[in-house]
Structure 1
């Protein structure tokens, strides 16, 4: 071997073994390029996606059977909501065993087959990391509650509470639960209270205990070593509790998440997690950031801090609603929505990365909330428009199962229609105590309940929407499945499904929609959202009519719409003009 060949071989080996010697990643418009920045994520709620064995409950083999559908759609990352062993007090967000698959969903072999199928199709899989709390049936908590001297006692947060002069016991403080009532439950075995921000069957872990943190890191390694590509981290800002956990003030009780989130040791815990686990994998980490303001976002996602890649900020999805417990659907305006995205573009830097979403398993259907589902034509147009916005704004877009079909809210009428523990607990707290009538409560919650997103996926017009071959799905299928379903939309060139496929194909080849600058052309207009995405010489114009009526709109500042690339109306052809005649809920994408 020649000396020069020896040298080239040695240099190549050094580059592979020493990251410091690797050439610096070339920035794109000031951003460091990453696969997860260019991804489109599709959330699968396993219980509702596809039932393979006819028991009425979605499962992992059912998801595997639909991977070709997801590949054809054009998404490249699947987010799997909790699939772990659980007693299902909160549909899997109460985990009994982090390294075991829920029996209803299948086996670990089924998970391995799903992961292999995802990879075979050049996609990636991320899973939920639910570690603010566990199930009360988790072996750690079973031990923790058994005695005050048990080695696992300090895995959870226990307090003696208060004893009044009459002997009555009261909780340690006035913390309310997300699911109504107190966030403390008295456990008779040791006569102390344990903390649970959510249901009583979801005790909060004590992250101040380093043994807890390292158990969590071992769980993360277990799944990453299997080949997943990262985690969506459930309520991750809540893991560090407020110092001393004093009573909330009257002002804090109006928005408890703001008091619970971003405790004094959060950065320490996340940096340790990154150092011990995440930095060793080519992963994607996205935190569900309840209680986190836009101003606090870069403290979690600034890439120089080495914590998380990105977070879900709920300013947009909760527009007109609260971020704590069941809430009514309030009024919102298009300028309000624009202001949120404009603020994100202003506050977040080139070191921060954003997410874009208007739906998930905890929120009502996007088209019923932000669009118009009063007629099929308006539902179709507004569903397309909303997906246009989500897929062309700044940040990694997240779609929820059924969004690509324009699935709508379910017509809930009575309490027995619901499965959600949050609704059932709120009914007890609000209706059964006489604070509100049952009629008013149910009418309000029908528009906002999480169960709207959890009704089974509508695959075809066969019984139960093709979700199951059984007669009793775990939650009723929306009655409109005979007209809104994947099979019908697949064969309809003007369907929401085929439009989203075209939109995803356009986005996949357009870096400007990933790394490009964003500019809102007309922030105050109450009907039309017009903005540009610009990357070097490439510039794109997006125009969206957020009304159920035709609108004639003149682009401000002499801007002219140039080459029309895509519209949610097949007959739209206007180009090379400043004045646009937009149909109801019409969206257009132009190349300038």
Structure 2
């Protein structure tokens, strides 16, 4: 296992629209981020992942890009962005940018040209097909509901869009298109960025012939994911991207890869194969979804969570590397999902942070996680902004006649806007995010949960995260130690060890609101153990039996 800077880093994700507004228009912006860099430096993070700030009509909050080399007006100018990069580097922090190249916006110049005629030079930059029997070319369903095909009468053909109809899929089969993308990547790397987070990068290779998806239920559209996730040429494309671009820079890469299994992840992240450094996989964030998918709520079983994390920790132990996350801009707030965001909000947020940061892999903190921001419950569907949420609501309530209250309950638990409410900086109006009217409402709990309060309170979640990050820099075992689980069948507590050279960590976590106890393995009895971190002040010495308070976390360092 080679040592690498990105293995030893802690990464912080900024969703710029919701982070900090500098000019009172209600939209977070780049000057706003610059004004808060000292906060992030004090937290101790090494790398900032900036969600898209490129020119975009904003159909999917910036993940629909109309110009890959320009900054969206909402966020500022290229000179603002260049100052941001300089200010980050001056503070010793690195910057990774989003690379969104499975699709562009339908307002991108390539697509504007592509739809003009069948013989346009840009036609094959996208995936166009004639209809079949008066219907779409196949039965694939969009991730955002409805058909994955959009009819375009100019040429009497359909184009593929796995996401919104304003996000046509790029045709990676076309070498000219690939070269355009590689040139664009070099443009940003030459400006000095430190790497890329690659949006749904394992969707870029589609199965030849684009066949119909199996559809046992006879629905109008079916998930074609097996035909565009981890497709036949994905490894060729990623290796070519390294040869053409990434090998010439010291760039870090993390690929967002829904549907990736451990065996495929090994191929993607094997350092000898030159594809990506690590991936975001989705298995653990699908565990509370029922057979109908994300919006079909079911309770999370701790044993399922253990099985998933253990499979990935052991699977990538010798080959590959894990990225560690419990929330991001597409996922609900982790303390609301995996902890208790009411009575034990502070304790459970610290426990979940401990769980994640003590695993093997690179931890990702999503903005607001470090102060324990929670899910939001807006009264009306009209208060929500996310295209996935709104499309789902229309389909379920207006088209299928489902109970609006039940659908709203799913949104409260799983909606992407949970993560997108503005950052809560202080107790002033709109949480100090803006002097204007925010683009989406601030969570009403901002007076009790905000960064100012957290920074001033030495016992806060924020200061606990600072300690977690500091420990990672002090103890190589936290970065490079091997993981082993204890008590895999226990539904209440999660206990694991990390082993590196002659040292061991014992990590004990109570995932419940009741006191729990367990027997410490005999081989650890009588060993000299130092408590590295605990979320209760009264943490105990390592004895033969340990009892854990509600949502308690304790980490022992054993020599």
Q: CA deviation at 1:571?
A: 2.9
Q: CA deviation at 1:397?
A: 0.7
Q: CA deviation at 1:469?
A: 1.2
2:8, 2:472 within 8 Å by CA — same for their partners in 1? no
Residue matched to 1:224? 189
1:529 aligns with 2:499: no
Give the alignment partner of residue 65 of structure 1, picking from 17, 21, 35.
35
1:147-173 deviations in Å (ceiling 9; x for gaps): 11110001000011123xxxxx31000
SS in 1 for 2:391: helix
1:566, 1:589 within 8 Å by CA — same for their partners in 2? yes
1:532, 1:542 within 8 Å by CA — same for their partners in 2? yes
Residue ranges of structure 2 left out of the alignment (5+ in a row): none
1:411 aligns with 2:392: no
Residue matched to 2:426? 460
1:259 aligns with 2:224: no
Equivalent-residue separation in structure 2 for 1:340 and 1:254 (angstroms): 27
Equivalent-residue separation in structure 2 for 1:360 and 1:109 (angstroms): 27
Residue matched to 2:440? 475
1:584 aligns with 2:542: no
Structure 2 counterparts to residues 61-460 of structure 1, below 5 A? 61-163=31-133, 169-250=134-215, 256-321=224-289, 326-375=294-343, 378-460=344-426
Give the alignment partner of residue 468 of structure 2, picking from 492, 495, 503.
503
Q: CA deviation at 1:349?
A: 4.3
Residue ranges of structure 1 left out of the alignment (5+ in a row): 1-30, 164-168
1:558, 1:578 within 8 Å by CA — same for their partners in 2? no
2:13, 2:51 within 8 Å by CA — same for their partners in 1? yes
Residue matched to 1:9? none
Equivalent-residue separation in structure 2 for 1:329 and 1:397 (angstroms): 27
1:336-365 deviations in Å (ceiling 9; x for gaps): 111112111332242311111110000100
Equivalent-residue separation in structure 2 for 1:323 and 1:287 (angstroms): 26
1:71-124 deviations in Å (ceiling 9; x for gaps): 110110000000000000000000000000000000000000100011011110
Give the structure with higher Rg (CA).
Answer: 1
Residue matched to 2:536? 569
Q: CA deviation at 1:534?
A: 1.4
Q: CA deviation at 1:485?
A: 0.2
Q: CA deviation at 1:323?
A: 11
SS in 2 for 1:373: coil
Equivalent-residue separation in structure 1 for 2:222 and 2:341 (angstroms): 32
SS in 2 for 1:432: helix
Equivalent-residue separation in structure 2 for 1:334 and 1:219 (angstroms): 43
Worse-superposed segment, 92-101 or 324-333: 324-333
2:317, 2:482 within 8 Å by CA — same for their partners in 1? no
1:255, 1:324 within 8 Å by CA — same for their partners in 2? no
Question: Residues 390 and 35 from structure 1, CA distance in 2 versus in 1: closer, same or farther, beyond 3 angstroms?
Answer: same
SS in 1 for 2:285: coil
Q: CA deviation at 1:327?
A: 1.6
Q: CA RMSD in A?
A: 1.5
Equivalent-residue separation in structure 1 for 2:396 and 2:454 (angstroms): 41
2:513, 2:551 within 8 Å by CA — same for their partners in 1? yes
1:484 aligns with 2:462: no
Tell me the TM-score normalised to structure 1 length. Answer: 0.91
Equivalent-residue separation in structure 2 for 1:576 and 1:367 (angstroms): 28
Q: How many residues align?
A: 553
